[in-house]
Amino acid sequence: MRGTVSINLIPLLEQVNAGIAQAKASGAAFEPNVIRQNLENLSSYMIPGPEVALIKNTFITVAENKIAVRIYHPNPEKELPVLLHFHGGGHMCGSVNLYDPISRELAIAANAIVVCIDYRLAPEHPYPAGLDDCQYLLENYQDLLKGYRFSEQLYIAGDSAGGAICTSLVINNIDNAAIKIDKQILIYPSVDYTMSCPSIVENGQGFLLEADKMRWYFQQYFNLDNIELNTGESTAALITAASPLLGKFDSRMPKTLVITAGCDPLRDEGALYAQKVKQAGVSVEHYQFDDLIHAYMLLSKLVPEQYHQTYSLIKKFINNT
């Protein structure tokens, strides 16, 4: 069923939809630089994040690539858990800077040291480059935190493509004895690259994130134009294998919080992921904001009540043992 959107979002959506129509008419709808700038422009709709005691910019080196990382420590005098934060943006957009308010809020809500990474983006760096960067961080975050006090508790969090990264890391490391993720926080996660859920059709137009843009994102991320030509590998097999929703669910998965939006094309896959985690015997909480759209976390000035409620849900989830 198609969602019914909050009246607070209607003026923005009218403006965006008019812009999308104009861009499609001019043939400039799907250009990486344009899409990236459009996402960065949402910063004007974001509530500034709270003060955090210590913020440090640093980097990791992955396969000779220097990857920026930002550390947020809400209380350097205390031993706190660590939360690895993976931003959204369709694997093509987004940045540590854009997501700075969210990283700050997560540090306070989770009372944890947040580490946010500027992983490599497609199309310049297609799959699995960005995921490899995040895997490296997962394996080596302790090295970044030398000199700080931190506990063994490890959380991961991500929205949209960041949710895809979280869920991929969980599946890829389920048999890795050196990695123990205690909890994962997923906000309107992208977990099905095959785009098979009904909400893709029901909410796939008019709600900011559109189905044709998603398809284009995934085409860039997986380099689908060239993969069959260069490797002979089936694109269908690749995107199915890469989709966390279609992977193996296991009782060793971390406790999971899934937050979905009723007017989001990704609504159903997030809900189905929560259902599959529960069926695997894992503790899961699922909450849906029925009248919100994809990327509402980047529109916090328009929906401040639901934005702050999201962090209340996260804080409650983290504090539940």
- In sequence order, what are the beta bridge partners of 83? 114, 155
Q: List the catalytic residue out of 264, 268, 291, 300.
A: 264
Indicate the Cα dihedral angle 129, 115, 45, 316, nearest 10°. Answer: 120
Is residue 160 flagged as an active site residue? yes
Selection from 114, 102, 123, 109 nearest residue 36 by Cα:
123
Is residue 312 flagged as an active site residue? no
Q: List the catalytic residue out of 73, 85, 91, 294.
A: 294
Contact assessment for residue 155 and residue 318, using Cβ atoms and an 8 Å cutoff = yes
Q: List the catalytic residue out of 160, 190, 243, 300.
A: 160
Residues 232-237: contacts with CB within 8 Å, 24+ apart?
236/194
Contact assessment for residue 186 and residue 166, using Cβ atoms and an 8 Å cutoff = yes
Is residue 264 flagged as an active site residue? yes
Rounded-to-integer distance, Cα 245 and Cα 257, Å: 15
Alpha helices in the chain (DSSP H): 10-26, 32-40, 100-110, 129-144, 161-172, 198-202, 211-221, 224-231, 235-242, 267-279, 304-319
Catalytic positions, written as ranges: 160, 264, 294
